[in-house]
Chain A
Amino acid sequence: MATIESLATRFERWGFVLAEGTFEESLEVLEEIVGRLDEGQLSLDDSLRCYEFGVLIARRCEKMLDEAELRISRLQTEQAEPDIDDPIDEPPF
């Protein structure tokens, strides 16, 4: 019973990742799915549902890789003015 509930929670999470997860999250979910399939504790039904999720997420990952384009943005920083509070006096010796 507990397994079933936790799997339901996972499905919810996976659905979220499938919709708007990062690549890393997606890959993590994919690996989690493989891990669960590997454990062999799932019912056939759940195995198939997990697998379906896996296929969808893998497809999304592939798409992300295919369409990946480095995003670059710049942060507005107050460009430091020359230091004035740190005068180094020439020592007399």
Chain B
Amino acid sequence: MSRQVVSVRLLTSYVRELLESDDLLSDLWVEGEIAEAFVARSGHVYFTLHDEESRLKCVLFRAQAQRLRVPPRPGDHVAAHGRISVYERDGTYQLYVDFLQPAGMGILALQLELLRQQLASEGLFEPARKRPIPRMPTCIGVVTSAEGAVWHDIQHVLRRRYPLAHVLLAATSVQGDGAPRGIVAALQALQDDGRPEVIIVARGGGSAEDLWCFNDERVVRAVFACRVPVVSGVGHETDWTLIDEVADLRAPTPSAAAELCSPSIVDLAARLVDVQREADRLIQDTLEDATLELRQLSSKLERLSPVQAVRRDRAHLAELRDSLDRLPNYTVATSRAAVAERRLRLSTALQDRLSARKHSLELEQARLVVLDPGSVLRRGYAHLTAGQDGRPVTSVDDVSVHDRISVRLADGVIAGRVERLARQSLVGTGAAIGND
């Protein structure tokens, strides 16, 4: 500025530019007690920080103010982060605050909180961004120190659980000032190699300072940008660093990280057995089904064969013919049967009567035979007649001595004369007849 009279505006603008060009003033933490805080209608918050000696005007714009969990209240002891600039209208310098924390934290913790908040607002820690870890990675990238227990532990876990894997180590220091760059470079080298399907970033336990490189913004952003999923395994269970928040999966320890990237070979073998057993069962079922189907088909085929059809048709035809024969002639047939039956009955009755007649006839004939005079004569009796007229002689009174008599025997006639007469009862041998 040459020696000349300047306007207030020019001076104020000059002072503002001067302050804003200072690195320290553009990014600093100030600690003090809040006084006189008020929220303008615009939503911006105006307050004063003070201690025993000095006061500092502060402004917190609405966008930042909205992110605060607790709004600034008078009496609060806080650490404010921001930049110094000049409010030209009033000619006052003030702190443009972008982050407010309760006082009492160290600068590292404050920086960490600030970074966490910034990265979170950019979406680096979004749960929706997390990618799944491959179940069975062929190649596992590891970012850690080549020396020390961690690398050894990881190999041990992987050798025991999942010896199918290929482990690719990108060694780097994981402690100290060079660590962030080393970690970023190792992540990049593994991505450039292209083989790893998952990357483990690991470090053993240590102090907060030892683990600090895992809070480094470059490391966090590199993990965020990594093309393959990253598993963090830094420190112990209780240690939390920003890499744990950005990683796709956070493991409590390096060994746990290795486990989370690897299926157990025991499980794999069991699964293999299961799958094989399942395949065996299924093919067995398939074969059984096929056999059954074949059996059913062949029996169906048999049923459907033309031979069967003809046989069936023939049987049907015979049945039809049967019913044809049977049904229309039913009444005729029965009548015929009835007639036949009656005829039979009639003829039987006739027969009976005839045989009865025949029987009585035979009886009569027998009686006739008995009464036949011939038969009497054949038994030795004789029929005696007398006179010319051949009158029968049945008593001695019917004839006189010298009467001519004729004796008829079975085989002829004897002619004679009565010589004498004697009355005699029939008891005895009868009439004595002279045969001369």
Contacts and interface: CB of A to CB of B under 8 A. Distances in A.
A34 B178 contact: no
A53 to B, nearest CB: 10
A86 B162 CA distance: 41
A7 interface: no
Contacts of B172: 77, 79-80
Given A34-B278, A70-B159, A78 B185 contact: yes
Interface string B168-203: 111111001111111001100110010000000000
B178 A83 contact: yes
A74 B171 contact: yes
B279 A70 contact: no
Given A70-B159, A77-B189, A54 B279 contact: yes
A11 to B, nearest CB: 16
A20 to B, nearest CB: 12
Interface string B150-169: 00000100110011111111
A58 B173 contact: no
Contact of B169 (A34, A61, A74): A74
Nearest to A42: B286
Interface in A34-81: 34, 37-38, 40, 42, 44, 47-48, 51, 54-55, 58, 61-62, 64-65, 68-81
Given A37-B286, A51-B283, A75-B193, A83 B181 contact: yes
B413 interface: no
Contact of A70 (B167, B170, B176, B180): B167
A74 B168 contact: yes
Contacts, number: 129
Given A73-B167, A77-B189, A65 B268 contact: yes
B171 A77 contact: yes
Contacts of A33: 279
Nearest to A54: B279
B275 A31 contact: yes
Nearest to B290: A44
A77 B188 CA distance: 9
A74 B173 CA distance: 14
B182 A79 contact: yes
B433 interface: no
B265 A54 contact: no
B136 interface: yes
Interface string B124-151: 0000000000011010000000100000
Nearest to B184: A80
B167 A27 contact: no
B276 interface: yes
B318 interface: no
Nearest to B265: A65
A37 B185 CA distance: 48
Given A70-B155, A70-B167, A80-B181, A27 B282 contact: no
Contacts of A79: 171-173, 182
A43 B173 CA distance: 60
Given A44-B286, A74-B146, A82 B168 contact: no
Contacts of A24: 135-136, 138
A24 to B, nearest CB: 4
A93 B99 CA distance: 19
Contacts of B135: 24
A30 interface: yes
A77 B278 CA distance: 47
Contact of B282 (A22, A37, A73, A91): A37
A72 B163 CA distance: 10
Contacts of A58: 272, 275-276, 279
B369 interface: no
Of A27, A31, A34, most buried by chain B (CB within 10 Å of CB) is: A34
Contact of B138 (A22, A38, A72): A22
Of B136, B138, B185, B286, most buried by chain A (CB within 10 Å of CB) is: B286
A67 to B, nearest CB: 9
A72 B185 contact: no
22 contacts: A22-B136, A22-B138, A23-B268, A24-B135, A30-B272, A30-B279, A34-B275, A42-B286, A47-B286, A58-B275, A62-B269, A68-B265, A69-B163, A70-B165, A71-B165, A72-B169, A73-B169, A75-B190, A77-B185, A80-B179, A80-B185, A83-B178
